[in-house]
Amino acid sequence: MKLLITGFGPFGNVKVNPSWEVAKRIALVHPAGVEVCARRLPVVFDGVGDVLWEAVEQFAPDVVLMLGVATKRSVISYERVAINIDDSSKVDNEGKTYPGTPIRLDGPTAYFSTLPVKEMRDATLAAGLAAEISNSAGTYVCNHTMYECLYRIEHSGLKTRAGFVHVPQLKTNGAIELDNMVKAITIAIEIIKKHED
């Protein structure tokens, strides 16, 4: 299985983004039978889709697993859905905000993850790690990225499966440690691989 895993760089008060730290670790140590390419994405509404898609076209993955940080969450959150809206008063790294702007005028209201989120959640919990299924990826760059990825997969006619996972901020809100974040995502990848085999 070829896996493209992405994380984001620093933004706002997040000086070290755990999503990229996890993605880098997964690229170094990953489940057997999985070829991994890790890419860091910019925290910008404009252009993040292009950076992601360039990696998809270069690597031709079977699965795209996007990671982001949810600073107010304390568990691994497997995202079920991305909605067609950018709506945030919080600036991105280009200083831009989007007050309720559709991501794609010709796109559907929402896209559902094409990954087995329930099994991923259940396997993570079975390993003694805190996890949940989330029905909202927010309306910031993470949601935008998930939506863009699934939109482009559909419109390119690819069979690539894709989904998004939020990890907690490091050492806040009683969040799990980085090693356990890596463990949780590794478990999730193993579940995904079972569905690809």
User: Which residue is associated with the tokens 């069979």?
Assistant: 159
- Give me Rg for the CA atoms of the chain: 15
Residue pLDDT, tens place only, 144-158: 999 999 999 999 999
**82 against 29, higher pLDDT:** 82
At residue 14, the 3 state secondary structure works out as strand
**Residues with active-site annotation:** 79, 142, 166
Average pLDDT, rounded, for the chain: 94
Q: What total of structural domains would you count in the chain?
A: 1
CA distances, 184 to each of 12, 100, 129, 137, 168 (Å) = 26, 33, 7, 18, 12
Residue 169's CATH number: 3.40.630.20
Amino acid at 174: G
By CB neighbour count within 10 A (0-12 exposed, 13-18 middle, 19+ buried), where does 85 fall? middle
- Cβ neighbours, 10 Å, residue 21: 18
Residue pLDDT, tens place only, 110-151: 999 999 999 999 999 999 999 999 999 999 999 999 999 999
Q: Which domain holds residue 63?
A: 2-196
pLDDT for the residue 170: 83
Residue pLDDT, tens place only, 63-99: 999 999 998 898 999 999 999 999 998 999 999 999 9
| pTM of the predicted protein model | 0.95
pLDDT for the residue 131: 97
